[in-house]
Amino acid sequence: MIEIKLPIEISDSRLDVFLKIFQLIKTKQNIVLNWEKVQRISSAGYAVLACLFDLIVEHQATIKNKNLKKYLKEIPSIKNLLQAQDHKTLPDPDIHNYKSNNVMLKCSAGSVDINFMNEVLYSLWSGLSEELFFSSKLIFNELMQNSISHSGAERYCSYAGRWGDEFHIGVLDMGVTIPAKLEQKYLCNNDIDYLELAFKDGITTRRHRTGGLGLGHTIDALRNNKGKLTIISRNAQIKKYFMTRKTSKNLLRYPLNGTWCFTRFKTQGE
């Protein structure tokens, strides 16, 4: 069996570890997950674990867990993982739904839940400004439309959470990727170019009307709130750090059959 050491923090960082796990599952490898270093899980981490659960069930993978601390076993997403191999078919996506004082995860079938941000408002928004909530709602709505327009997935995971002085929002799917959708109409050299194309105004896969994939307001809101945007789709990843005005982009060693969009932004000093 192949042993994978999980990172200290399961979040929207160190996603290469999970992409490797996904690849091993799809190639029918038996895996041991070593949880020894894991100390914390962000709201994005809950969504990633939900996608991992779905993949384990879909491929009827053999997964063993090692050095899993007692308090981690009480986390619903990890409880699900420990029982994933008991499922012969995928259960309803709401098996992943979770809500605490700092985290909300909502998984749905067929489409992103359009009421998600209203639930976030009543559950996680204590002490934050109306202006920040308006920015957050814009970000979520655009990520939602982005997923619906390119994905065609059967299941979607939306998450939100407070993390120190940051607020995190994202949408994950395991459907048709952004490059796969855009290459129906455009020709680029590689998947980095396709993801960069998705940021441009007016880029669309529709034949008879204009309109891009809808990330313009998201970028503006993240820039105003010192945010970060990470998009992973098929063979590429782009990270935009709006506080430092830097962009990181790379081709992935292990592809993602889907699209993951993660955002984080400051809740103070915006």
Q: How far is CA 67 from the centre of its chain?
A: 26
CB 202 within 8 A of CB 211: yes
Q: How many residues does the chain have?
A: 270
CB 52 within 8 A of CB 22: yes
> How many domains are there within the chain?
1
Structure tokens at 82: 């420990």
Domain span including residue 18: 2-266
Q: Backbone dihedral region of 40: left (phi > 0), alpha (psi from -120 to 50 degrees) or beta?
A: beta
Question: pLDDT above 70 covers what percent of the chain?
Answer: 93
Question: pLDDT above 90 covers what percent of the chain?
Answer: 70
The per-residue pLDDT for range 44-75, each reduced to its tens digit, is 999 999 999 999 999 999 999 999 999 999 99
Between CA 108 and CA 144 the distance in angstroms is 12
CATH of the domain at 78: 3.30.565.10
CB 146 within 8 A of CB 201: no
Predicted TM-score (pTM) of the model is: 0.93
Q: How confident is the model at residue 209 (pLDDT cuts 50, 70, 90)?
A: very low
CB 169 within 8 A of CB 136: yes
